[in-house]
Amino acid sequence: MQRRRFLLAFLSALGAPFPARAQQPAKVTRLGVLLQLSPEETPHIVALREGLRDRAYIEGQNIVIEWRWARGDVRRFPDLAADLVRLKVDIIVATVNHAIQAARVASETIPIVMVVPSDPVGLGFVDSLARPGGNITGLTWQTREIVPKRLQLLKSAVPGLTRVAVLWDPTEPARRLQVEEAQRAAASVGVQIQAFEVRSSQELEGVFAAMVHARAGGALVEASAMLAAQGARVAELAMKNHLATIGWWRGLAEVGCLLSYSPSIMDQYRRAAYFVAKILEGAKPADLPVEQPTTFEFIINLKTARVLGLTIPPSLLARADHVIE
């Protein structure tokens, strides 16, 4: 008995845990995610989950994800962001411009990771890409050459194309910059540009009729939460009005637009997990440079080409990352 008491006292002096003492549970991270559509309607969410798992953050084990989505109505983002702040999440992943702006207003202290903003400097989300400052960092969706590239690809797909419409939503932050970029690039590509505003799904049919009246042979579809939600309708109206379209992300080509050229959205969401992990490891958002896209995807929908009576040149097909048969 005396020997047992001596051993217990000796182990206690060394700081050794007693077998019956419960271990302290590891901290569970609470991550808030602001989306346009639900996780089930957002296939690239799988890349965020994979990126987190690759960094040993397993949903339901050491990380809890609070999903909030706007159901295609960007006016809901401020309430959704405020809800995440009330839950005291550790980090917010904000996907698009409206979501980032809402998270920024809701909290100046909770770290915010951007995924696909169009112009984070111009919109005031960060001071600069190299030195973000404040509580926001992450990725940007745009590069200077992406709009001219889309115009060139569309012209290569449509023989004799001279007039191109730009379909854009003026309620979306910073989208006018993309229209201006298209207008600057038009002369070098050899086309004329005319911009057409659309603010709601109810306006789509009339806007497409106006594009046809203006004798547009093709259209650039610019980024918009509303146009993303209405992607299939946009593709349907484009085919009905015999307009070749190129979209800002692969999802538009998948639902029937002729082409898409964009950064890889899967890579963007997977890379967002890197920023989450760095911040959880102690890095400050102000010190993590915003990253520009490095991987791009060119998608061709041959089913749509056949509906439009177009033969895609073999040289263009060879450049595609994915061809929808």
Gyration radius of the chain over CA positions: 24
Share of the chain above pLDDT 70, in %: 92
Categorize the per-residue pLDDT at 16 as very low, low, confident or very high, splitting at 50, 70 and 90. Answer: very low
Distance CA 138, CA 216 (A): 37
Query: Above 70 in pLDDT, residue 6?
Result: no
pTM: 0.84
Query: When comparing pLDDT for 175 and 1, which is higher?
Result: 175
The candidate with the shortest Cα–Cα distance to 150, out of 171, 181, 173, 122, is: 181
pLDDT at 22: 44
Please state which CATH class domain 29-141+265-293 belongs to: alpha beta
Distance CA 289, CA 214 (A): 43
The candidate with the shortest Cα–Cα distance to 41, out of 72, 77, 64, is: 72
**What does the pLDDT average to over 136-161?**
92
Say how many CA atoms lie within 13 Å of 50 toward its Cβ: 11
pLDDT at 26: 65
With b meaning 16 or more CB within 10 Å and e meaning fewer, what string describes 95-126? bbbbbbbbbbebbeebbbbbbbbbbbeebebb
The candidate with the shortest Cα–Cα distance to 317, out of 309, 305, 191, is: 305
pLDDT one-digit tens code per residue, 196-238? 999 999 999 999 999 999 999 999 999 888 888 899 999 999 9
pLDDT one-digit tens code per residue, 36-49? 889 998 889 999 99
Distance CA 6, CA 236 (A): 83
**What does the pLDDT average to over 179-208?**
93
Structural tokens at position 170: 């003026």
> What's the whole-number average pLDDT of the chain?
90
Q: Where are the domains of the chain?
A: 29-141+265-293, 146-263+297-324
Distance CA 24, CA 193 (A): 63
pLDDT at 19: 44
Distance CA 141, CA 317 (A): 25
pLDDT one-digit tens code per residue, 284-321? 999 999 999 989 999 999 999 999 999 999 999 999 99
Query: Above 50 in pLDDT, residue 18?
Result: no
Q: Residue for token digits 């001596």?
A: 6
| 146-263+297-324 matches 29-141+265-293 in CATH topology | yes
Query: Above 90 in pLDDT, residue 129?
Result: yes
Residue 221 has what DSSP assignment? E
CATH number of the 146-263+297-324 domain:
3.40.50.2300
Residue 288 has what DSSP assignment? S
Query: Above 70 in pLDDT, residue 254?
Result: yes
